[in-house]
Structure 1
């Protein structure tokens, strides 16, 4: 038998049958497809960070500085009493850890759809059942459908993205409250876009011991550093933390995270600019009769266009990369997701967008 075939044959059939998570090539394009903070640090802070990283003992495994980063993140987030925090290599690793933590025979993961694709991918890679519950056409939670699905499937884990990706909206707090009350297991409030939203889930966490809050420093402005964190009751986090790989946050990443938190005011000003740019982008899109821009509480705008594929290609030909999400779910028919960029990038985006409209 061919040696390569022998190697491939031992790979799980379900893994071989799926495609890997795709990242669009972006060289030479204005990159507005993955909800990154478009601002770099000011020159003086870049130099200060470089000098600081140069003094890090990269010959040693991560230790105390990772603990200090976790404490700093807990303080910045306003972690409630009785809770603890664990870190992940981005939110993706935390999602994997959560899937592993509840991976019992017959266990089920549930999330509204359309939503972040990694919830389902991670669940299926752990051999778990995934149940998606469609949102309403206005992208609000379908409360009767969610409660019925909870009663039928008894999910061990429910994800509620807040704001949601890719629809960018915050769901009704009272509906979330009732879903949490009905949940037989964990409810994870995924707050990846919290820096741009008008409210968060910390009060929900204080009142419900089965709630976990998951956040990331990626949208804060450190997408390349890959730091996610999960907050919940100390007893729960203690169990989930057992699945965290040793030294999963590198010393350079931890130091960069600590540096960013020490200069949180810089990132707060960047977020303020992006919120204003988001609102202006929506207002400008609302002036275009052929499109529908949906309300946003993230650093992205979902917009329905006459022909998503043609618009995507036209915008890309004009030097701007956005995300065509129209094939992800029927509710997203002819929808593009636009990341909010700098004022200059958004002007180029609007020009490319309008020039790509069908004539």
Structure 2
């Protein structure tokens, strides 16, 4: 008779070796800390809105599978985003699920996904999990798109998907529109998709929504996480109806719960509240940038998101110093060589930012 440990060892042999060699997506323990590591909206709902939402959620038929209410949410999101005519929209359990579904839908033999780096880690992870090849193209030293390298990679690799985050994570910047358009056109000529990821759209000076209808191969992805509903897990993908209909075929049934759906609808009905919150965050972002200018040991880059990337003399020491002072930020210095000694600071409330800046200065 085999032992339990032997059975576990044999069962592990049935799991892909590349999966076993991977590291799971890590979420930092933020208990007891000022949490400024995950680009969350720091503002909650007022007591009145909490009560109204609670009443609606309490009346839902939790004993039933999600029904046509998701179609109401799709229409509400399409109106909120000013989705062009002839486009379709599909829902995901956060953008992460949509990225995974796109990899699954495009999993043809030899298919490649391509994105600038450093960028959102899920682009590469989704490719690996689906058995696709991922090609990362380094940004410039100041985190701009390398036009020549990107165009050469599109021509050489002929990727199924090119991801362009607008703004980028973790660098927080918007790239040059003329360069983006050249990449989009090059990808169109070789027959691939472009996914414009606008996760941080509420804080950005520009959006691709007014240009997306010019092309038949461009999809635009957004999330309500940065809108103010990170706990709800709701992403959406827009694009030409024929393309969305095909990608939607790999979506699991009932992937959006009735609770997620109703929370999202409620938030869209009170979009002005979340727009006011985004305005406060943009104001605080400007304030933080000004304070960082006064710290000679710190370099920071322009931000169109609710985060600011900074370079300090010693990222590990500064990160631990801030953590000791009860402030949790994100140490991204090991994510990519271009991010050496970089930390990512989430923009919080005015009081949170005061505390964060004091902890940063004391920890340098």
Same fold (TM over 0.5): yes
Q: Is the partner of 2:210 in helix, strand or coil?
A: helix
Match of 1:346 among 350, 353, 364: 353
User: How much has 1:289 moved relative to structure 2?
Assistant: 0.5
Q: CA RMSD in A?
A: 0.6
Structure-2 residue corresponding to 1:49: 53
Distance in 1 (CA, whole Å) between partners of 2:37 and 2:56 is 31
Structure-1 residue corresponding to 2:166: 162
Residues 87-98 of structure 1 mapped to structure 2, 5 A cutoff: 87-98=91-102
Structure-1 residue corresponding to 2:304: 297
User: How much has 1:203 moved relative to structure 2?
Assistant: 2.2
The answer to whether the 8 Å contact 1:204/1:211 transfers is no
For structure 1, which runs of at least 5 residues remain unmatched after alignment? none
Distance in 2 (CA, whole Å) between partners of 1:178 and 1:68 is 36
Q: Is the partner of 1:84 in helix, strand or coil?
A: strand
Structure-2 residue corresponding to 1:132: 136
Structure-2 residue corresponding to 1:85: 89
Distance in 1 (CA, whole Å) between partners of 2:120 and 2:197 is 10
Distance in 1 (CA, whole Å) between partners of 2:210 and 2:310 is 31
Q: Is the partner of 2:194 in helix, strand or coil?
A: strand
For structure 2, which runs of at least 5 residues remain unmatched after alignment? none
TM-score (norm 1): 0.99
Match of 1:141 among 140, 145, 162: 145
Distance in 2 (CA, whole Å) between partners of 1:22 and 1:85 is 30
In the alignment of these two chains, the number of paired residues is: 357
Distance in 2 (CA, whole Å) between partners of 1:261 and 1:159 is 27
How big is each residue's C-alpha offset from its partner over 1:137-165, in whole Å with a ceiling of 9 and x where there is no partner?
11110000000111110001000000000
Distance in 2 (CA, whole Å) between partners of 1:98 and 1:68 is 23
Structure-2 residue corresponding to 1:245: 252
Distance in 2 (CA, whole Å) between partners of 1:139 and 1:15 is 30
Q: Please identify runs of 4+ aligned residues in structure 1 that moved more than 3 A.
A: none
Structure-1 residue corresponding to 2:72: 68
Distance in 1 (CA, whole Å) between partners of 2:340 and 2:124 is 20
Residues 165-184 of structure 1 mapped to structure 2, 5 A cutoff: 165-183=169-187, 184=190
Structure-1 residue corresponding to 2:284: 277
Structure-1 residue corresponding to 2:317: 310
How big is each residue's C-alpha offset from its partner over 1:236-257, in whole Å with a ceiling of 9 and x where there is no partner?
0000000111000000110000
Distance in 2 (CA, whole Å) between partners of 1:95 and 1:123 is 9
The answer to whether the 8 Å contact 1:312/1:324 transfers is yes
Distance in 1 (CA, whole Å) between partners of 2:15 and 2:273 is 47
User: How much has 1:67 moved relative to structure 2?
Assistant: 1.0
Matched, 1:210 2:217: yes
Say which is worse superposed, 214-223 or 63-72, in terms of deviation: 63-72
Structure-2 residue corresponding to 1:220: 227
